A and B are shown apart, each in its own frame.
Chain A
C-alpha cells in the first residue's frame, strides 16, 4: 500500500459571514466576501494528519478544485500538516457550474493517479449542502465508503468506521482503498501554529488542469433562481386571553 491519503478541501464562504443574494437572483454575492476552508474539510485534514502522526500512513496530499484563490485553502491544509498540495484549476463559467459530479470525477482520477490508499473528504460543503461528492467518488472508483464518520481506526488493511446515523451509531469494517467522509464529531481541528505556517510556505502545490485528468466538466444542472428564505414576521404581544382569541380568529387560525 502506498500509505498516501488524498484529502479534498473546498474553499467556501466563511460560515460567520452574512450571506446576501445577488440582485438578479442568479446566486449569492461572493466578490469581496471572506472565504475560508469548509469546516468539514478541516476535520478531514485533521484526521489525515492524525493518521500520519500515528505513523499509520506516510503522506497527506491536499486537493482543491477552483480558481487561483483555492491555493490559499491548500496552504491552510499544508499549515495544518499536509505534505503537499494539488490545485486543480477551474475558472470562470466552469467554476460557476462546478458541482459534486465534476469534483468526484476529478478526485477519482487523482486517486488513481496518486495511488491513494484513502480519500478523506468532509461530509458536505456548507455552501451547497450537497453531501454527494464522497459517495460519488467511491462509486466512480468502485471503492467501499465510510460516510458520516465519527471515529476512524486503521486495522491492517481494513478500516473500522463508526458512522453517525439517524438511529445512533453504526460500526462498519471496510477494506482499503476506501473513501471516508468526516462528520462533525470526528475530531477538533488544530490551530495552524506559526512554525507550521512558516514551513507551509515552502511546501509544494502542483498545478493540474481537469483536461489533463481526462475529466469533462459539463454540468447536467442549471440553476434557475436563488432566493432568500422568507423574512420572519414580527410577533405581536397581547394583553389578555380574549385579545388572543380575537387575533387568532382574525388570522383564520381558529
Chain B
C-alpha cells in the first residue's frame, strides 16, 4: 500500500500544495481532489494511481468477485537488514514468532488469512513516523491494524505486508470535562475509554458489540456506526481532530480540540472511513456526551414489519429527545440465540423484536414518557408483548439479545455477512427475497440491525464455506441493493471482501455516462485502478472520465 503512495506523484503534489492547516494555493489541485462519495475523480489524463490492471466488467456472469484476492504488487520483501532496523527502533516490540503473528494474520471471523512475518508495535507517533518513512523508502507494504475486529477482511494482511499494530498506543492524553472533549492515542480500546469517561460523568458517542477489543483508531478508520448513531450521530460529526502519519512518514497534525473551526479544508474527514489506506491514525480527539442519569431498555415484540416501522414513528414522537437506540431482530435471530447461547426470550414468540433504549438526565421524566409510549403502543396493538429494564443487570441482559447475534451466528456455521443501507421500508423485503431466492441452499437467513438508521445486517449461514451458495448470494444481494439505491456497505467498510463491489453504488447504466458518446461495454475499455484491497476506480479508457 505504501508503494502506491510512492508512485502517486499527483496526490503528493496536491497534498503538498494544500497546506495542512487549511488554505490552498491553487485551484487546479482543488479540482483534482473533488470528492464524490469516497472516490477521487481526476479529470486530467494522468492516472491517479499508476498501477492498474484490467478487471472483469461487472456484468460478466454471476461469478462472485469477493473471493478472488488482488495479485501481489511488486513490493519488496522483508530482509534481515529491515528486521535489524525495526529491532533497533522498537526493541522487544518487533515480533517475528509465527505463533504470536497468528492472531494478527487472521481476522475475527476467521475468514481471511494473511502471511505477514513481521508485527510491529510502536508506542509513539514518532515511532510510527519512522516506520513508515523507512518502509516508504524501502518499498515495503504496511498493514495498519487496530483491534482486528473488522468484518470485511480489511484488518489483516492480504500477503506479507508488515503489520503495524497500534495496540501499545493506548494512552489517554487529555480530557476536558467542561467541553467533554477527549484526546487519546489511537490504540485505546473503546470499552476502556467508556469506563474512563463514565468515572467522569461522560460516555463515548459510539457503542458497538466489539467494544471490548476494538480500538478507537480503527473505529475512526472505518467510520464505525454502532448502536448510538441514532442519538449522537456518526464519527464524521463527533471526531474533532486527528493526528495521522502519512505514507511517507510525515505527521499530519489535525489534532484540534476545537468544536468549530472553519479555517480551510477539513482534511481529517478524508481519513475518517479511509480504512487505513491514506495514513495511520495515531491520535484522536472526540466530543463525548454526558453520561445519562437514566437509561431504560425496552424489548418489544411485533407481528409485522409495518407495525415495527409504525412503532418507530411512535417512539420518535413520544420519546423524542430521550430516544437513543432503535434496533430490530427477527425470530430467526432469536432462535439462534436460544440454540447456541442458551439465552431465553424475554417475551412471547413474535416474528419481529425491537430493542429501544432511552437515555436522559431525569429518571422520573424518562419513566413517565416511556410508560406513556408503552401504553399507547400496547393500546393501539402495534406491539403484542414487551418488557422494560431499568436496572443495569437487566439492561445488559436485554442488550445481549441484540449484541450477541453476531456471536451466535459464528456458532451456526460459516457466515456470509452483508451490511446494507436501504430505504427503511424496504429493509426486511431483502431478507424475505433472499430467503425465497436461496430456498434450501442456506442453513439460516437472518435479518437484524440498526433499523432506526436504515441499516440492515443480513446474514446467511451454511455448515461450511460453499462457493456455489456464495455465487447464489452475490451479486444478487448487491444488485437488489443497487436497484433500490441502497449502499452495499453501510458501516462495515469495503476491506478485502467488498472492494470489487463499490461500482454497485456508482456505476450506473451506460446512458448515465458523463459523455453520451462514450459507451463502456467492452471490458478492456475500462482502465481499472485499484489499491490492494480497497477501491476499484473505473476510469473510462476513451475519455478518462471517472465513472
Contact = CB atoms under 8 A, between A and B. Distances in A.
B375 A198 contact: yes
A194 interface: yes
A15 B394 CA distance: 10
A15 B396 CA distance: 12
Contacts of A15: 393
A195 B381 CA distance: 12
B346 A191 contact: yes
A101 B385 CA distance: 41
B211 to A, nearest CB: 16
A192 B391 contact: no
B227 to A, nearest CB: 18
Given A193-B347, A198-B375, A14 B391 contact: yes
A198 B348 CA distance: 17
27 contacts: A14-B391, A14-B392, A16-B392, A16-B396, A17-B392, A34-B390, A34-B392, A36-B391, A36-B393, A188-B344, A191-B299, A191-B346, A191-B347, A191-B387, A191-B389, A191-B394, A193-B387, A194-B374, A194-B378, A194-B383, A194-B385, A194-B388, A195-B378, A195-B385, A198-B374, A198-B375, A198-B378
A184 interface: no
A17 B395 CA distance: 12
Interface in A159-206: 188, 191-195, 197-198
Nearest to B386: A194
Interface in A1-60: 14-17, 34, 36
A16 B299 CA distance: 20
Interface residues of A, number: 14
Contacts of B389: 191
B386 A193 contact: yes
A193 B386 CA distance: 5
Contacts of A36: 390-391, 393-394
Contacts of A14: 391-393
A76 to B, nearest CB: 9
Nearest to B396: A16
Contacts of B391: 14, 16, 34, 36
B388 A197 contact: yes
Contacts of B378: 194-195, 198
The list of the 9 closest CB pairs from A to B, nearest first, reads A16-B392, A36-B391, A191-B346, A191-B387, A194-B386, A16-B393, A14-B391, A193-B387, A14-B392
Contacts of A194: 300, 374, 378, 383, 385-388
Contacts of B390: 34, 36
| Residue in B374, B375, B392 with the greatest tally of chain A CB atoms within 10 Å | B392
Nearest to A37: B391
Contacts of A198: 374-375, 378
A36 B388 CA distance: 13
Nearest to B377: A194
A17 B198 CA distance: 12
Interface of B: 299-300, 344, 346-348, 374-375, 378, 383, 385-394, 396
B371 to A, nearest CB: 8
Contacts of A16: 391-393, 396
B263 to A, nearest CB: 42
B68 to A, nearest CB: 44
A34 B293 CA distance: 10
Nearest to B379: A198
B478 to A, nearest CB: 39
A39 to B, nearest CB: 8
Contacts of B299: 191
| Residue in A15, A34, A193, A194 with the greatest tally of chain B CB atoms within 10 Å | A194
A36 B392 CA distance: 9
A192 B393 contact: no
Interface in A197-248: 197-198
Given A14-B392, A16-B391, A195-B385, 14 more contacts: A14-B393, A16-B393, A16-B396, A34-B391, A36-B393, A191-B299, A191-B346, A194-B300, A194-B374, A194-B378, A194-B383, A194-B386, A198-B374, A198-B378
Contacts of B396: 16
Contacts of B386: 193-194
A127 B299 CA distance: 29
| Residue in B344, B374, B393 with the greatest tally of chain A CB atoms within 10 Å | B393
Contacts of A192: 387-388
Nearest to A188: B344
A69 to B, nearest CB: 11
A163 B299 CA distance: 35
Nearest to A201: B371
A34 B391 CA distance: 7
Contact of A193 (B344, B385, B392): B385
A17 B299 CA distance: 22
A192 B347 CA distance: 9
A79 to B, nearest CB: 9
A141 B170 CA distance: 60
| Residue in A34, A36, A188, A195 with the greatest tally of chain B CB atoms within 10 Å | A34
B98 to A, nearest CB: 21
B349 to A, nearest CB: 13
B374 to A, nearest CB: 6
B39 to A, nearest CB: 46
A191 B344 CA distance: 10
B523 to A, nearest CB: 57
Contacts of A17: 392
A97 B213 CA distance: 44
B295 to A, nearest CB: 9
B64 to A, nearest CB: 42
Contacts of B374: 194, 197-198
Contacts of A34: 390-392
Contacts of B344: 188
A145 B385 CA distance: 38
A94 B513 CA distance: 81
Nearest to B195: A18
A193 B388 CA distance: 7
A52 B328 CA distance: 34
Nearest to A192: B387
A14 B397 CA distance: 14
Nearest to B385: A193
Interface string A61-87: 000000000000000000000000000
| Residue in A193, A195, A198 with the greatest tally of chain B CB atoms within 10 Å | A193
Nearest to A189: B394
A34 B133 CA distance: 52
A17 B394 CA distance: 12
Contacts of A197: 374, 387-388
A11 B385 CA distance: 27
A194 B378 CA distance: 8
B127 to A, nearest CB: 22
Contacts of B392: 14, 16-17, 34
A132 to B, nearest CB: 24
A191 B383 CA distance: 16
